[in-house]
């Protein structure tokens, strides 16, 4: 049994990223039902909505799943309220993931509840801090990943550094994983599992806007770029997105409203350079919005049910031969399998 399975109870050592606006109950339940780790994004949801969302997942799957909080976006008051409600509703086999380091009280509440705490980090320093907070699993995010970045290192370089310092930690790689062979590769480098976000954006159950799904499915790695343009609502974090009319080096345009979206039952305006993603209910200039996408998009295909995506991932994982995975050219990676 892999160490990730022993901590989270997953059949497949794969976590779905808690993508705000995209990872709703349908996607979370479908991924978990297929044997991977589905994750429900709480993002900026109010507590009463959190209760509704968690209950929807519980009603749809009996398998382990997680909820994701983003402390630096939600803020301490909302984050604690979200977590308090979630812990009331989550079954005992569920887990909690935090994008970035949570406050000590967040970590304490999760650990005290008996549920596994998963913390996503981007530096060796933050990995150490997360372990001190009681994280049972560390997600090591590399710069290949789509979305907001927590560090400046490629995933496998960060994995090497953290594994060397903490040989017994349960480590999951985020960034560059979209197939079972990708998973075998990172296991051979010392990981216990992987997290994928881009892989699940085009799925049927994803709440992403249809145009966003199409762009991801058609994109190659070079169609993505790291920028700081989409900073309204989430400042000071570089992010990897699909190139679009506002990601170039042209002077910044006015942050006028370019779309409307539905949140909490209300239709809200979306300014240019908002961190918000285009979801199914978004209307307006979709192409100018933030479409987060990792470099693994080159290996992501068109819209399919999430269960089919997970099953295909499982088949390629089981068919791959870990003994064929050798050191990366020019990199000090140790061949190692945790299967």
At 199-218, the pLDDT tens digits run 999 999 999 999 999 999 99
Q: Give the pLDDT band (50/70/90) at residue 266.
A: confident
pLDDT of residue 324: 44
At 17-34, the pLDDT tens digits run 999 999 999 999 999 999
What is the rounded average pLDDT of the residues 265-275? 93
Q: Is the pLDDT of residue 75 over 90?
A: yes
By C-alpha distance, which of 273, 314, 282, 79 is closest to 183? 314
What Cα–Cα distance (Å) separates residue 89 from each residue in 64, 65, 75, 83?
13, 12, 21, 10
pLDDT of residue 25: 98
Q: Is the pLDDT of residue 325 over 80?
A: no
Q: Give the pLDDT band (50/70/90) at residue 264.
A: low
At 146-186, the pLDDT tens digits run 999 999 999 999 999 999 999 999 999 999 999 999 999 99
What Cα–Cα distance (Å) separates residue 22 from each residue in 18, 310, 327, 330?
8, 17, 35, 37
| Residue 254 and residue 200 in contact, taking contact as beta carbons nearer than 8 Å | no
At 109-146, the pLDDT tens digits run 999 999 999 999 999 999 999 999 999 999 999 999 99
pLDDT of residue 187: 96
Question: Highest mean pLDDT: which of 73-87, 258-272, 308-322?
Answer: 73-87
Question: Please, which contacts does 4-8 make with residues 24 or more away whose CB atoms are closer than 8 Å?
Answer: 4/137, 4/170, 4/172, 4/192, 4/193, 4/338, 7/116, 7/136, 7/137, 7/170, 8/37, 8/64, 8/66, 8/95, 8/116, 8/118, 8/137
Q: Give the pLDDT band (50/70/90) at residue 1.
A: low
Spatial CB neighbours of 33, under 8 Å, sequence gap ≥ 6: 60, 61, 63, 307
pLDDT of residue 322: 55
pLDDT of residue 228: 97
pLDDT of residue 336: 39
**Helix segments in 288-329, DSSP class H:** 306-319
Q: Is the pLDDT of residue 14 over 80?
A: yes
CA distance 224 to 169: 31
List the domains of the chain with CATH numbers.
3-205+301-324 (3.20.20.70), 210-296 (no CATH)
């Amino acid at each position: 049994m892999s160490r990730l399975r022993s901590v989270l109870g997953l059949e497949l050592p794969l976590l779905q990223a808690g993508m705000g606006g995209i990872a709703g109950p349908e996607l979370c339940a479908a991924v978990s039902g297929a044997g991977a780790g589905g994750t429900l994004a709480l993002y900026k949801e109010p507590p009463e909505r959190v209760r509704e969302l968690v209950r929807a997942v519980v009603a749809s799957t009996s398998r382990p799943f997680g909820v994701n909080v983003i402390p630096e976006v939600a803020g301490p008051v909302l984050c604690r309220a979200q977590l308090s409600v979630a812990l009331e509703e989550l079954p005992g086999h569920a887990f909690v993931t935090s994008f970035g380091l949570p406050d000590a009280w967040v970590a304490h509440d999760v650990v005290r509840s008996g549920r596994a705490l998963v913390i996503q980090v981007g530096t060796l320093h933050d990995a150490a801090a997360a372990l001190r907070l009681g994280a049972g699993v560390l997600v090591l995010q590399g710069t290949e990943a789509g979305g907001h970045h927590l560090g400046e290192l490629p995933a496998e370089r960060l994995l090497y550094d953290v594994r060397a310092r903490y040989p017994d930690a349960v480590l999951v790689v985020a960034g560059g994983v979209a197939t079972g062979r990708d998973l075998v590769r990172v296991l051979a480098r010392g990981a216990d599992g992987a997290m994928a976000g881009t892989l699940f954006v085009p799925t049927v159950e994803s709440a992403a806007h249809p145009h966003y799904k199409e762009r991801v499915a058609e994109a190659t790695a070079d169609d993505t770029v790291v920028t700081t343009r989409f900073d309204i609502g989430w400042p000071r974090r570089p992010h990897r997105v699909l190139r679009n009319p506002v990601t170039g080096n042209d002077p910044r345009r006015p942050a006028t409203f370019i779309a409307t979206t539905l949140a909490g039952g209300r239709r809200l305006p979306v300014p240019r350079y908002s961190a918000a993603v285009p979801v199914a209910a978004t209307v307006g200039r979709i192409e100018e919005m933030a479409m987060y996408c990792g470099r693994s998009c080159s290996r992501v295909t068109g819209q399919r049910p999430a269960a089919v995506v997970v099953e295909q991932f499982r088949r390629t994982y089981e068919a791959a031969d870990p003994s064929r995975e050798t050191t990366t050219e020019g990199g000090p990676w140790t061949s190692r399998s945790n299967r």
